[in-house]
Amino acid sequence: MRRTALPRPPRLPSRGRIVALLTAIVLTLAALLGLTATAVPASAATDYTQSVTQLNASQTQITFVPTTAALYVDVHYLVNGANQQNFRMANSNGTWTQTVSSLSAGNVLEYWFTYEKNGPQYDTPHFTYTQTGTTTGTVATPTFSPAGGTFTSAQTVTLADSTSGAAIRYTLDGSTPTAASALYSTPLSITATTTVEAIGVQSGLTNSAVAAATFTIGTSVGCPAQSDTPNFGPNVHIFDPTMSSASIQATLDAQFAQMKDTNTAQFSENRVADLYKPGTYTVEDNVGFYTSVAGLGLNPDDVTINGDVTVDAFNSEDAGNATQNFWRSAENLAINPSSGTDRWAVAQAAPFRRIDVHGNLALYPASYGYASGGYIADTKVTGQASSVSQQQWYTRDSNLGSWAGGVWNMVFSGVNGAPANTFPSPPETTLATTPVSRDVPYLYIDSTGKYRVFEPSLRTNASAPSWANGSTPGTSLPMSQFYVVKAGDTAATINTALSEGCNLFVTPGVYHLSQTLNVTKANTVILGIGYPTFVPDNGVNAMQVADVDGVRLKGLLFDAGTTNSAALLTVGPSGSSASHAANPTTIQDVFFRIGGEVAGKATASLVVNSNDTIIDHIWAWRADHGNAGTVGWTTNTADNGLIVNGNNVEATGLFVEHYQKYEVTWNGQNGKTIFFQNEMPYDVPNQAAWISPTGVNGYAAYKVGAGVTTHEAWGLGSYCYFNVNPAVNSYHAFEVPNTAGVKFHDTLTVSLGNVGTITHVINDTGAQTATNTTPSNVVSFP
């Protein structure tokens, strides 16, 4: 876990910052006690919209819509100046409502709001409304422009109502709109086939009839036929068993010499993929930075390496540690290790997938120096997998002959041969199955020599490799439906391919984006090999995925540009509400970097708004070391690694490090996380610069939103190493609502070398970090 970082001069806390913190504490206490007077007025009229809708002769609905998402909104009201009531309003996709009953004609309702905005809370002015007691007339039915129909590209849809002063409420998920549905305020961006339904509402009038329009996007467009035997470009090496072992070895050795050095290759723009056609090879494949090694068979044993596929602490400057062995992968082949043991000593962003190891697997360097954490899935190891000095590890849906070792946090789900659940001694967390999983799409070559991409089927409560009883269940797509992205492609050419209905096969390279990549078609596959890297320029977001079924993203690296992006990858627009349980979007081996190569900036790395999304192995990293001038508290700035707003989202293998505010914020209901690894930011200059909105020291690494009632997580570790200012403290690493439906299992904190402290593990529970780099553990919460 060693990372270098330049020291920063301490900055003394300002008097204004202290006053602001004290004010926030007072406001929080006032809200908890049900008081209505606060010291802070509404920050701006543009912060919100509010309205009152008479539902019937005796009921009225108060509505509040904050411009930016709020953690809570409270409404306070009096009827005829008496009997004040205070309620936490109900939230539906960002629209907060409260129904007032038992009203009579002529009753005067005086009401006002208290709402949260980025930590502090604010009071609005008082408003009044008079109940009419009857409704007369009906609101006109809303209209759409353009009207529904079939379109070849996304549409901007404007809604209007001819009744003066009427509000429009709408839905996009097929449900009938009500007065509590989303409030229309700006034109809708319809990027995939959608039915928009809307009603007009106005106090004193009957709601309009429901208007509906279906916008069919892109059905008349198909991907122009591509080659089934494409030219993948010079950075993809395709080996054939008819080639001599010596010639293959020479190619492997030459590329490894270029890709192995931690000092020079770690932040270079070199990218490479080694692909083996079905057959047997006798080679030693040492895997360096930004290198993917994969077999081109339909199943792992179609390609056999008699030799090794190795990652180790290769360089003298590594000092025997493998803690910076990032950005390399192995997939879809069998290994007969030359010594009986294959070695895969890695850190983050180095997946080992669909491998059949005919022997043992060592996950630590030959020197027994540390390695920093890794990921195995859909794999079989006939012998023993041993972690030894590996600090944390996650293994999913695999078969192991046996397992040995554990330093802080070893997690298994759906793994035959996994150790028993013994956390914290030894620190092993074992789930019999993985709730929901779907293995990665992968390239293979068929019996006619044509390339295809296989799409594994969705699995529920899975265990063992998907290919344990034969071929992996699923379907395949011909390469004729894939646009091959390679040197010379721009955001414009890539977006054209996407708008034409093509999937993307992204070859090794660095691609600068002058515009956002828009993924709007259901079931789009974007498959990268050799760590292709998307860099957003001029502050654009790198990629946005519509709220559609079955998008598969695999094998991509998003690297922030020097102008701040709001987000690097967004799945689903804000307010997404469709169910994708039968065919979720999957984000697999997708990695994010803020700084390191350049002084990158992004407010958030990954934002998930779509329901049912599967996040399967990501590393979101705000760099703590890198090229000169690319890292520092005010240099590579980034607030959040992951924000989850969708419901029923599952994360398996979640690595998030060094972000400057909440590193993971989970607002959706019924979320699940199996394995979480985190390091807090190293470079906090002083405590005053790192105080959470709740007024406590630091930001939690993993925060579950206050309104969440169901969430469960297993095997989570957060570590601190405040090397710029060791006096810095974090009050806790995990911040969650105190409710029975929010459950955490096997959670820990560590102070690396006692450089800084974490007072509690989760909320107010768990001991302060020890001085000797041993964990503070909480087995179960609450």
Which residues are catalytically annotated?
A: 679
Characterize 178-194 residue by residue with b for buried, 16 or more Cβ atoms within 10 angstroms of its Cβ, and e for exposed. Answer: bbbbbbbeeebebbbbb
392, 408 contact by CB (below 8 A): yes
Q: How far apart are CA 272 and CA 236, in angstroms?
A: 6
Question: Residue 308's CB: how many other CB atoms inside 10 A?
Answer: 22
Alpha-carbon separation of residue 549 from 191, 192, 198, 543, 585 (angstroms):
13, 10, 23, 17, 6
Please list the residues that pair with 556 across neighbouring strands: 590
Q: Is 448:281 a contact under the CB 8 Å cutoff?
A: no
Q: Distance between CA atoms of 531 and 328, rounded to whole angstroms?
A: 8
Instruction: Output the six-digit token pair for 526.
Output: 């974007």
β-strand partners of 60: 54, 100
Contact 408, 776 (CB under 8 A): no
Long-range contacts for 12-17 (Cβ within 8 Å, ≥24 apart)? 12/686, 12/688, 13/686, 13/687, 13/688, 14/688, 17/688, 17/691
All residues at 6 or more sequence positions from 218 whose CB lies less than 8 Å from its CB, including other chains:
151, 152, 153, 192, 193, 499, 501, 520, 521
- Residue found by looking up tokens 């198909």 in the block: 222
- Please return the burial class of 124, using the count of CB atoms within 10 Å of its CB with bins 0-12, 13-18 and 19+: buried
Helix (H, G, I), strand (E, B) or coil at 71: coil
Closest CA to 572 of 213, 215, 173: 173
